[in-house]
A and B are shown apart, each in its own frame.
Chain A
Amino acid sequence: MPEASNYMRIVKVIIEEAVSLLVGFAVAVIILLFSGYEPLSVISILFSEGFRNTEVLMKQSIPVIATGLAFSIPALAGLFNIGGESQLYIGAFTGLVSTYIIYNATGQPVLSSVTGLVSGTLAGGFWGFIIGYLRARRSVNEVVVAIMMNWTTYYLVLYLIVSRFTDPIYSHMSVFVPASSRIPDVLGFIMITGVAVLTYIVLRYSSLGYSIRVAGLNPKAAVYAGFNLEKIFITAMSISGAIAGLGGALFVLSVIYSIDTTMSAIYGLGFLGIGIGLLGRNNPIGVVLAGLFISGLQFGGQWVELRTGAPPYLTDVVIGIIVIALSATYTYELLVSKLRRG
């Protein structure tokens, strides 16, 4: 029996996603029509160009899969982590700088990149811990703390790059990851996917995962049943921060190699992660798929601008609508249950 109900559930999810995708496209078509662009060509360019190159797809999705996971894990515990942005910044920065310093000190490529990844993860984890700690022990709203930390970290990293770690040749860039410490981008993607799979296993089969899910489903019942909510909140936030930090470090070490002094390469990836977490329905495997999907659409958006002259914002709107439609399945469920009741 559990097998059959599981099967039904998956079918239901697929149907829901299909419906929302179609609704999303229908709305997008209407908006494009009103703005005077050919909806069909815009949408077909989005897909055909966005998903043409698998390697591009993989490397661009590394950071957003990480921030998607960083949103999903606390979400399961009933927390709203909007701090993926700052956790990714600090991870990217710490990863870059420690790789650079260790390589220059020891000349060991493997040691330096491993140190970079580990320190990026730790830094992100610490950033998440701060939010979790304040929420659990001081009852400070995690959203407020996270938003403030986003901007503080943004300017902190910007300051450090501009004042201490500017590249001597390309003055608009931070120092570069030494060539031999760089990680192949495909490996970077495999690593973050591995993290997602691991997260899936932990959430589903470990006692930690169980306690996170229970805390999210019903915090009062969780306390009554003897779960330590404070500990769960702190752990969930630390883990999610660590994953976002690792994502940042991986992105720097395997894709961008350096952070530009306008931070355009890493800005916004945390916010995008929220949409990806929702789209992936807080399921780590779903987050990987959603990350690939959105990265593809975004990349396709560049081609839309080339081919049709549509401003990039319009493509963002189209992508946004599709994301909203896909993640708003709860509304459909509500609608359906209303229909059923008559």
Chain B
Amino acid sequence: MRSLAMRTLVLVIIVVIIVASIGVYYYYNYASPSTTSTNKPIKVAILFDVGGRGDLSFNDMAWLGAEKARKDFNIQVEYTTPQSQAKMQDLLESLSASGEYDLIVLVGFLWTSPLNATADKYPNQKYALIDSSTFINRPNEVDILFSEQEAGALVGVLAADMASKIGCNKVGAVAGMSIPPLWRFHIGYLFSVKYYEMKTNKTIDFLWEYTGTFGDTQKGYQYATSMLQERACVLYGLAGLTHVGMFDAVRDWNKQGKGVALAIGQDASQEWYMPRYMPISGAKRVDIAVYDAIKMVAENKWTPGIHVLGLKDSGVGIWDLDGVKYFAEIAYNQSKLETGLTPDDVVRIVNETRNTYITETGWNIMSELEQLIISGQIAFKNPSTEEEYTQIVNALKNGDLNAALSRGSI
């Protein structure tokens, strides 16, 4: 028994010596205490959605915006992704309690309720909530929303134009859940399809379905297939991961020779997913929202409250070919691109697809509408209740375009 104790002791001592020597080595080599500079650099924490980096869309765009801000303002940016929804609240509290960060950026609507529970406890901690709002005015909180109507409006004109070129004269949208951002997309999309009808004297039918989920590709596939069977040929994806299923349905429809169908992506440029069948994507520039939030702190121009990014702030719109290339490159680096395609191929194919299916008239009507919006001649309504939303949509269906506008008239 004594020899056992002795040997264990020897083992302990050896390990202690090894660990300690590594520790001492490190202490002298790396832990140089150079915290003598007096003006502390601005420090920002970015907290992603549970999905985190690598989604090639929402979270990755937030990262892009933060990286740009880090370079432009020469500040310190730190990132983390909550391990699970059960940890979001605790993580936010512990970051706030540390008092280390000049700004905490919360990416995505999942942070709404943790923020609501935390913000009042730490009045000196600044928060920026991206793409969601607590609808409570706090001096330490900025909520950045997007005017989805304006993105939907540009997409709608082009969708209607493509449907008329293909000859089916019917457009559709696979939407996620019935929540305010989707209401806004619906209004913009429907408005501009009607606007296109008015300008060209054509009739374009309109389908809109809520799948009830943002994360179910299977459902996206089913809804899209039934729309295609109803003879819609241009489908707009507004359901996050769900609409990736819609993309697949459109691709299969073409490949099985059932007819010509096109898909439209949203948020990030998603054309790379299937450049032959996806000529355009609506843009929702999460990167710009994150950048703007950091800018407010970096330039000391904090303006709390709700900010809405629209066309004129380049917060929403349609991705140009540079954007298409940019996201194709990211996809390429993650080997998510179709085999054999390079980012340049994607851009070339997308350009061809655009030239094939979008007419000159389509582009002209779109830029005309874009000008009306940017110049402020017209502005869209922002329904706060489901009832108001339904009213607007019904009026639009009956051809009353002005029902969707809070300013100006058509």
A26-B79 contact, Cβ under 8 Å, with A60-B87, A171-B179, A336-B7: no
Is B18 interfacial (CB-CB < 8 Å)?
yes
- Residue B81 interfacial (CB < 8 Å): yes
B11 interface contact, C-beta 8 A = yes
- A261 contacts chain B at the CB level, 8 A cutoff: yes
Q: Known: A172-B110, A264-B85. Is A22-B31 also a contact (CB below 8 A)?
A: no
Stretch at the interface among B20-28, B315-323, B341-349: B20-28
Q: Known: A15-B12, A19-B11. Is A40-B30 also a contact (CB below 8 A)?
A: yes
- A34: Cβ under 8 A from any B Cβ: no
| A340-B90 in contact (CB<8A) | no
Task: From the candidates B7, B31, B45, B78, name the one contacting A339 in the complex (CB within 8 A).
Answer: B7
Any chain A CB within 8 A of the CB of B335? no
Chain A residues, Cβ within 8 Å of B19: 22, 25-26, 29
A23 to B8, CA, bound (A): 13
Cβ-closest chain B residue relative to A337: B4
The answer, yes or no, to whether B351 is at the interface (CB within 8 Å) is: no
Q: Is B86 an interface residue (CB 8 A)?
A: yes
Chain A minimum-CB-distance residue to B112: A170
With A301-B83, A305-B81, A307-B78 given, is the CB distance from A60 to B215 under 8 Å?
no
A52 within 8 A of B: yes
Determine if A40 and B23 form an interchain contact, defined as CB atoms under 8 angstroms apart: yes
- Residue-wise, chain B 45-69 has the 8 Å CB interface mask toward A (1 for contact) of 1000010000000000000000000
Given A26-B18, A40-B27, A302-B80, does the pair A255, B86 have CB atoms closer than 8 Å?
yes
CB of A45, distance to nearest CB on chain B (Å) = 12
Known: A26-B15, A26-B18, A336-B7. A265 touches B86 (CB 8 A): yes
Complexed CA–CA distance, A40 and B19 (Å):
10
A192 to chain B, nearest CB (A): 15
Given contacts A25-B19, A26-B15, contact A340 B4 (CB under 8 A): yes
A135 at the interface (CB under 8 A from B): no
B3 to chain A, nearest CB (A): 6
B299 to chain A minimum Cβ distance, whole angstroms, is 24
Question: Is residue B333 within 8 Å, beta carbon to beta carbon, of the partner chain?
Answer: no
Interface size for A (C-beta < 8 A) is: 47
Chain A positions within 8 Å of B50 at CB level: 260, 262, 264
The verdict on B300 contacting chain A, using a C-beta distance below 8 Å, is no
Interface 1/0s, chain A 153-190, versus B by CB < 8 A?
A: 00000000010000000111000000000000000000
What chain A residues lie within 8 Å of B206 (beta carbons)? none
Cβ-based interface call for B39 (8 A): no
Of the candidates A22, A261, A298, the one whose C-beta lies within 8 Å of that of B12 is: A22
Task: Judge whether A226 is part of the interface by a CB distance below 8 angstroms.
Answer: no
Q: How far is the CB of A59 from chain B (nearest CB, A)?
A: 7
Asked whether, in the complex, the Cβ of B94 is within 8 Å of the Cβ of A52, the reply is: yes
Choice from A52, A53, A298, A309 contacting B83 with Cβ under 8 Å: A298
Q: Is the CB of B214 within 8 A of A299?
A: no
B113 within 8 A of A: yes
Q: Which of B81, B84, B94 contacts A267 (CB 8 A)?
A: B84
Identify which of residues 78-106 in chain B touch chain A, using a CB-to-CB cut-off of 8 Å: 78-87, 90-91, 93-95, 97
List residues of chain B with CB within 8 A of the CB of A298: 83
Distance in angstroms between the alpha carbons of A267 and B87 in the assembled complex = 12
CB distance from B71 to the nearest CB of A (A): 16
Q: Which residue of A lies closest to B52 (CB)?
A: A312
Contact partners of A22 in chain B: CB under 8 A: 12, 15-16, 19
Contacts of A340 in B (CB 8 A): 3-4, 7
Residues of B within 8 A of A305 (CB): 79-81
**B218 in the interface (beta carbon within 8 A):** no
Contact call B22/A312, Cβ cutoff below 8 A: no
> Please, which residues of chain B bring their CB within 8 A of the CB of A53?
90, 93-94, 97
Interface assignment of B402: CB less than 8 Å from any CB of chain A: no
- A-B contacts, 9 listed (Cβ < 8 Å): A16-B8, A39-B26, A170-B112, A255-B86, A260-B85, A262-B50, A302-B83, A312-B81, A340-B3
Question: 7 closest pairs, A vs B, by CB?
Answer: A265-B86, A264-B84, A306-B78, A265-B85, A305-B80, A22-B15, A260-B85
Residues in chain A within 8 A of chain B (CB atoms): 15-16, 18-19, 22-23, 25-26, 29, 38-41, 49, 52-53, 56, 59-60, 162, 170-172, 251, 255-256, 260-262, 264-268, 298-299, 301-303, 305-307, 309, 312, 336, 339-340
